[in-house]
Structure 1
């Protein structure tokens, strides 16, 4: 579907990072619908295997480039062509320290420099709302690049979304099999305003022409009230016509797992990585994905902006009916 741009503004040449992920594809679709020329830089998942350009929406151009190699970025990605806007939906796949600093920081810096040399004047960055309270390596890496971007002299729009539908859909098959819905603590420890890939993709694409979004850091959530894990479970059981059943997992259990893995990780590097993944899981189990009030240290649902029309519970209904398939990715807790 074609979408008109405001004030008949001209189409842009847009360079996209992370265009093969679920959010990236949604963003590419939105960019194409607005008439922009879209070139996506693809990194190989398997260094020995080919990238799959068919993962991109029709109309986008795919180019395979090594984001860790500035020469490859210039030669294979930019190809001597001019660009107006860089849109980055790039993110590390695991969140582990080496991966995070390589992708969430260094690859982004490399792409920023290459894009600037190609004439880019505006960068739209998909970040994450969890960087408000940085504890983990990937959060520090994202913040480091945010700082590099804001100090680059280019116009920027940094978008920090709340939770994604795919991240909150991992227990549907479990519950369909008759098992209880897992929650940490009482299921009320956290809340979020989840946003769909399509709503987020449209928001990112609209940042190109939205002057009021320039040189700003923008938290964003989906429509409706903030939702707790308990509410997610209750609604899922209602969709299935069953009485709610919950299994309450104490946060202390995660703390014990982290302590053991951290100790053993001093001897076995693979266990150190598992300890970091457990810390990531604990973070999402205990911190809300909402705007953090720096004055009070509390999360504020009312201060978390909403956009779009897709709701998590409508998405749950489509999954239950078999009308959608959840692509969950690497950061899912369950």
Structure 2
């Protein structure tokens, strides 16, 4: 049985990934700073417990990320040092589509993280995915006190975390493949259109107001830097995500 360590195991992506890995027959160590049933305790920022967590693992899925990426570079250095010493065969990293072109500090750190993995000497696979449905939903829900819903005028291609988890499990079961093909959701839609879907699903009557601003950030998104050309990988649309979410609240 393959022993697989998952960082960020209790997060939005880690939770379905761990479930699918176990269903596929992996012996999973679910890394968390907390202690509890089914968890392997360790802290990537301090390094506490990480050598023990990695020892004997064949594969590591690195999904951990802090709020706005805080500490991601340091966490990756800690993990790579431990993984190298433990003889890990395969490190799978999840990253984000467009990090080379979108001028966000969080994305710049992701570029560094990818470079560290490439230069680590470990066998690796790097998967870039588009924004999760939950992130797009949060873009609108944080505006709950506004009289309108502001929606940037550029396209996105959101994907379900379950679809990303499925691909990560495939990669974990294969040999290291380097940078693999990016994946995105089944639809490319303008954020104002996504906002209108959200407004209908949640019953808000606030008007959706498209927002267009100058600058490199908006220009990169308008140019399609957050999109994946070619056939879509994901199957669950943003409308599907909203239907499941609003149905759960009724």
**What is the CA–CA distance in structure 1 between the aligned matches of 2:150 and 2:104, rounded to whole Å?**
24
Q: Give 2:29's aligned residue.
A: 39
Say yes or no: does 1:182 pair with 2:150.
Answer: yes
Q: Give 1:247's aligned residue.
A: 209
> Post-superposition shift, 1:124?
0.4
Distance 1:167 1:242, change over 3 A: closer
**What is the CA–CA distance in structure 1 between the aligned matches of 2:108 and 2:87, rounded to whole Å?**
28
The structure 1 residue matched to 2:16, chosen from 21, 26, 36, is 26
**What is the CA–CA distance in structure 1 between the aligned matches of 2:201 and 2:104, rounded to whole Å?**
36
**What is the CA–CA distance in structure 1 between the aligned matches of 2:201 and 2:135, rounded to whole Å?**
19
> Post-superposition shift, 1:21?
0.6
The structure 2 residue matched to 1:150, chosen from 107, 111, 118, is 118
Distance 1:145 1:137, change over 3 A: same
The structure 2 residue matched to 1:204, chosen from 151, 160, 168, is 168
> Post-superposition shift, 1:53?
3.5
Q: Give 1:91's aligned residue.
A: 65
> Post-superposition shift, 1:204?
0.6
Would the aligned equivalents of 2:155 and 2:221 in 1 still touch at CA under 8 Å?
A: yes
**What is the CA–CA distance in structure 2 between the aligned matches of 1:305 and 1:153, rounded to whole Å?**
32
| Larger Cα-atom Rg | 1
Q: Give 2:36's aligned residue.
A: 53
The 3-state SS of whatever aligns with 2:234 is coil
**What is the CA–CA distance in structure 1 between the aligned matches of 2:58 and 2:132, rounded to whole Å?**
28
> Post-superposition shift, 1:242?
8.2
The 3-state SS of whatever aligns with 1:130 is coil
Q: Give 1:17's aligned residue.
A: 7
The structure 2 residue matched to 1:65, chosen from 9, 25, 42, is 42
State the TM-score, normalizing by the size of structure 1.
0.65
Distance 1:237 1:201, change over 3 A: same
Mind listing any 5+ residue stretches in structure 2 that lack a counterpart?
none
**What is the CA–CA distance in structure 2 between the aligned matches of 1:53 and 1:26, rounded to whole Å?**
18
The structure 1 residue matched to 2:185, chosen from 222, 229, 232, is 222
**What is the CA–CA distance in structure 2 between the aligned matches of 1:86 and 1:286, rounded to whole Å?**
36
> Post-superposition shift, 1:247?
2.6
Would the aligned equivalents of 2:192 and 2:209 in 1 still touch at CA under 8 Å?
A: no
* Aligned residues: CA RMSD: 3.1
State the TM-score, normalizing by the size of structure 2.
0.84
Q: How many equivalent pairs are there?
A: 249
Would the aligned equivalents of 2:31 and 2:40 in 1 still touch at CA under 8 Å?
A: yes
**What is the CA–CA distance in structure 2 between the aligned matches of 1:301 and 1:308, rounded to whole Å?**
13
